[in-house]
Amino acid sequence: MCEDPHMDTADWWYTLRIPAQPWMISLVRSSLRLVLTQHGRLDLADTACLLATELVTNGVVHAKSPVTVYLSCRSRTLRVDVHDTSPEGPARRSAGCEDESGRGLTLIDSCATAWGVTRVGRGRGKAVWFTLT
């Protein structure tokens, strides 16, 4: 499990683990939307689902590993951690007008309140996280 210090003090939290299968990414999006709706945070659902989908896609496509999504909310701040088993951090790419990928970190920079990467000890990968308020 990702050692997220926010989980212990969260008002609520949710965890979802998926295999490294691209068709599972839509399950993440619909699950997050349902959880956020149930907790009265529909105001953050579109942005949270977009950004989480970007990070989950990176884990599935580039890390080729199962992905675990941790959602936690504390004092109206939503935090999403996406854990995969690759030690490689996300790499910013320069995307041209015709490119179909390469904009994930730009989206996160533009939309998230904050974001970062947390290395998970003993070679267990990393978690890329973001917050929304």
Q: Residues near 73 by Cβ (< 8 Å), separated by ≥ 6?
A: 10, 11, 12, 13, 39, 41, 79
Q: Which has the higher per-residue pLDDT, 32 or 102?
A: 32
Task: Tell me whether residue 119 is in a domain.
Answer: yes
- Determine the average pLDDT of the residues in 122-127: 84
- Torsions phi, psi for 23 (to 5 deg): -70, -15
Task: Tell me whether residue 19 is in a domain.
Answer: yes
- Determine the average pLDDT of the residues in 32-55: 96
Task: Tell me whether residue 1 is in a domain.
Answer: no
Give the range of the structural domain holding residue 33, as residue numbers without chain letter: 12-132
Task: Tell me whether residue 86 is in a domain.
Answer: yes
What is the percent of the chain where pLDDT is above 70?
A: 83
Task: Tell me whether residue 4 is in a domain.
Answer: no
> CATH number for the domain including 34?
3.30.565.10
Task: Tell me whether residue 72 is in a domain.
Answer: yes
| Cα–Cα distance for residue pair 92/18, rounded to 1 Å | 24
The total of structural domains in the chain comes to: 1
pLDDT band at residue 89 under the 50/70/90 scheme: confident
Task: Tell me whether residue 96 is in a domain.
Answer: yes
Side-chain-side CA neighbours of 70 within 13 Å: the count stands at 21
List Cα–Cα distances, 75 to 11, 79, 125, in angstroms. Answer: 7, 11, 28
Task: Tell me whether residue 95 is in a domain.
Answer: yes
Model pLDDT, residue 120: 83
